[in-house]
Structure 1
Amino acid sequence: MRRNTHKKGQPGRRRRLPGAPGRGTLEKEKPPILGLIQRGGQVILHMLANVQQATIKPIITQAVGPGTLIHTDEYDIYARLPAWGYAHKTVCHAHGEYARDEDGDGFCEVHVNTIEGFWSLLRSWLRPHRGISQDKLPLYLGFFQFVHNARRRGKALLSALVSGLVG
């Protein structure tokens, strides 16, 4: 008997997580997480109380230098980035755009693949824990952020860990 087949008229197997689609909220027990990552560099993670511009502005202004070019999707929370002093380019996932070559050199400069890849790693790492409480989630995020940011230090990882624990 062949695998992965189903009878005509029967729906195929669902392969996504249960739950309502859309943005998470604390009330839905799917808290929103803001992630900032420099290509080839450090990541910063914050669990948010809500998804509003007033909530993300202090995080972004503290972590990102003025005038920096920021790439995002077209979620409207990022609409004020230019007014806050940042260059801003977007990709529109709703129209099937995931990367864009703006100067015609064959290299897609505008994309959010770096953070999308990071979210994939984080989800894979969290999956075996099966249901982390919202109280503990910032601790898990902090640990994963530390490991990600320290991964290139090699032998210096131990001293970074000790200084992180002491500091």
Structure 2
Amino acid sequence: MKTELVQRFVWGVPVYRQRFSLVASRPATERFYRLIRMAVAHAEQLRDAFEGNLECDETTFGGARKGKRGWGAAGKVIVFGIVKRNGLVKAQPIPAHDRASIMKVIQAESREGSLYYYTDEWQASATLRLRGDHVVIRKQKGRPLGRDHVNGIEGFWSYAKNWLYPYRGVPKKFFHLYLGETCYRFNHRNEDLKPLLIKLIKTTAVQIGGGNPVQIR
């Protein structure tokens, strides 16, 4: 049964789409999928800090809503991401679109001496120059001017939003788990996920809702 659930998770089939062919109850299926997401999110948190040529950018996740738009829009989650050129991604929610929040992620998830590509001439640039070379990507009508670009991180944003779209909204308290899942899928995009996940959930102890650690078998 669990092997079948893992396969459906690999395919990205939301629980509501399985309602006529569930192999376990809906609550049990949702709980099992949450355990998988906790395991893969934990694995992504343990990934070593990046170095080399890095692209940095931030975006918002959340459905269209009336009222204020942009960074201060109600119900939106601000996410900052780092992509290693032609390689891996790290992404996590941040509390605000400000220099302190962004630099906290950069300092934790990258090594000094890296070459950073940034999307605009925002105020974080002065601090970035202290950690490595900094290339400012200037845009005109949404297109980069010159040969420098941040296609890698922008490609990941598109990948993540397209992957999450079929879920018809993600509970905000679990958004970080879904984001960790998309990072894991992206970072293992050229591998068969099923054996990776089975091995991971057999060896990862996760904390559920503040309770005792649970061994997934």
TM-score by length of 1: 0.71
In the alignment, which of 181, 187, 194 is matched to residue 143 of structure 1?
Answer: 181
Equivalent position of 1:118 in the other structure: 156
Tell me the CA shift for residue 21 of structure 1: 3.6
Helix, strand or coil at the partner of 1:23: helix
Bigger Cα displacement from structure 2, 87-96 vs 75-84 = 75-84
Q: Give the CA deviation at 1:59.
A: 1.3
Q: Unmatched 5+ residue regions in structure 1? A: 1-16, 102-109
Tell me if the contact between 2:121 and 2:136 (Cα under 8 Å) persists in the aligned partners.
no
Amino acid in the other structure paired with 2:88: Q
Q: How many residues align?
A: 142
**AA partner of residue 80 (structure 1):** A
Closer, same or farther: CA 22–134 of 1 in aligned 2, 3 Å: same
What displacement does 1:119 show? 0.6
Change (3 A) 1:161 1:77: farther
Going by fraction, where is helix more abundant, 1 or 2? 2
Shift of 1:94: 4.1
Amino acid at match of 1:149: N
Question: CA contact under 8 A between 2:139 and 2:145: conserved in structure 1?
Answer: no
The correspondence of residues 13-162 of structure 1 with structure 2, limited to 5 A, is 17=64, 19=66, 20-24=68-72, 28-74=74-120, 76-94=122-140, 96-98=142-144, 100-101=146-147, 110-154=148-192, 157-158=196-197, 161-162=200-201
Aligned equivalents of 2:199 and 2:91: distance in 1? 18
**C-alpha contact (below 8 Å) 2:120/2:137 kept by paired residues:** yes
Residue 18 of structure 1 deviates from its aligned partner by 5.2
State the Cα RMSD in Å.
2.7
| CA pair 96-145 structure 1, distance change in 2 beyond 3 A | closer
> Structure 1: how far apart are the matches of 2:171 and 2:123?
26
Structure 1 contact 53–77 (Cα < 8 Å) conserved: yes
Judged with a 3 Å threshold, the aligned counterparts in structure 2 of structure 1 residues 113 and 24 are, in CA distance, closer, same or farther, namely farther
C-alpha distance in structure 2 between counterparts of 1:30 and 1:164, whole Å:
34
- TM-score calculated relative to the size of structure 2: 0.56
Deviation at 1:78, TM superposition (A): 3.0
Distance in 1, matches of 2:105 and 2:174, equals 21
Cα displacement string for residues 85-127 of structure 1 (whole angstroms, at most 9, x for unaligned residues): 12111222245542523xxxxxxxx211111111111111111
Shift of 1:73: 1.0
Identical-residue share of aligned pairs (%): 26
Q: C-alpha displacement at 1:158, in angstroms?
A: 4.1
Q: Secondary structure at the match of 1:119?
A: helix
Partner Cα distance (1:160, 1:65) in 2: 30
How big is the shift at 1:131?
A: 2.0
Question: Structure 2: which 5+ residue stretches go unaligned?
Answer: 1-63, 207-217
Report which structure shows greater RCO (CA 8 Å, sep ≥6).
2
